[in-house]
Amino acid sequence: MALVGSGSATPNQSLNNDQLGQRVDTNDDWIRTRTGIRSRRVIGPNETLTGLSHSAGLSAMSMAGWEPESVELILLATSTPDDLFGSAPQIQAKLGAFNAASFDLTAACSGFLFALVTAAQFLRNGSMKRALVIGADQLTRWVDWDDRRSCVLFGDGAGAVALEATSSEKDGLLGFKLKSDGSRGDCLNLPQVQDYLPLVPGTSHQRGGFSPIQMNGKEVYKFAVREVPEILEELLQVNEILPENLDWLLLHQANQRILDAVADRFAIPQHKVLSNLAMYGNTSAATIPLMLAEAVNDGRVKSGDLIASSGFGAGLSWGAALMRWQGPI
């Protein structure tokens, strides 16, 4: 499986730290020094998550040089679909990718890596040749904008990669590891509201709806700085790759301090650490493909580059992948 295209899309509205300070008791200095975030994008009235995902997917397909009918699989990694039944089929229709099976996959901020690995299985076992994997989230619709401990972190966006089946010698997914631990899930969740209404005498039903994001920031921080280096280390060892041989470290963009801590642990210099969270904040499943698309477009990531990536977040879920960027064949 080769990574042959990438694309991204972000909303037009931006919200900087000073503007946020008009809503909650926070300030630019606190947010910048504790997180590295300066601004984030917020989906407004004339945009949708499906629309952003479509744009990101279209860019990835066009970089790959694909006709829409040649795509056989579209995976949308998201926790915030426009439709709880799944938004991937809407993207499929907008792309005109009529031969693609399409479905949503949820693993919160690890969703993109989980979806990438899932798509790779179809391509490697020979059942499909072309897959589009999109990571997109609109957490701004589920954030409690009066909770300064969490609302400063999140933003909206979408990123996509185009994956093409190849011979095993040319496989661009050198290795991966995925993990989950539901016993620690209460550190970060977006739960159903417990609201029961009478249906008929003696029977009630639950009304649909979610309460805002609940997060224990300190616990999530500790989880990330413990588990991410561990899973990356395992992956590097199994694949007999030394950290100095990596071209890029591409982590889920949650907090610059987490990126720095992981990079320090492997003595990876700052110029090899991809980071755009100053501009976008944490866009959940979108962070990794959004960052990749940006670095491919501006020429930083080149064909043949070796990338170590790790996603982590709610679930709890986390994962890592070693990838070689191929670009258009």
Question: Does 252 participate in catalysis according to the annotation?
Answer: yes
Interface pick for ligand UT7 out of 19, 23, 62, 149 (rule CB under 6 A): 149
What is the nearest approach in angstroms of ligand UT7 to the Cβ of residue 159? 15
Residue 142 binds to ligand UT7 (criterion: CB under 6 A) = no
Cα–Cα distance between 284 and 253 in angstroms, integer? 8
Hey, how many other C-beta atoms are within 10 angstroms of the C-beta on 15?
17
Exposure string over 95-131, b if 16+ CB within 10 A, otherwise e: bebeebbbebbbbbbbbbbbbbbbbbebbeeeebbbb
Cα–Cα distance between 307 and 175 in angstroms, integer? 11
> Pattern of binders to ligand UT7 over 247-276, x per CB under 6 A?
-------xx---------------------
Query: Which stretch in 8-16, 26-34, 38-46, 171-179 sits in contact with ligand UT7 by CB under 6 A?
Result: 26-34
> Pattern of binders to ligand UT7 over 161-200, x per CB under 6 A?
---------------------------x------------
# residues near ligand UT7 by CB under 6 A? 20
Cβ(42)–Cβ(19) under 8 Å? no
Residue 313 binds to ligand UT7 (criterion: CB under 6 A) = yes
Residue 30 binds to ligand UT7 (criterion: CB under 6 A) = yes
Exposure string over 40-61, b if 16+ CB within 10 A, otherwise e: bbbbeeebebbbbbbbbbbbbb
Question: Does 109 participate in catalysis according to the annotation?
Answer: yes
Q: 216 to each of 105, 146, 173, 311, how far by Cα in Å?
A: 24, 15, 33, 18
Interface contacts to ligand UT7, rule CB under 6 A: 26, 30-31, 34-35, 109, 148-149, 152-153, 188, 215, 217-218, 220-221, 254-255, 282, 313
> Annotated active-site positions, please?
109, 252, 282
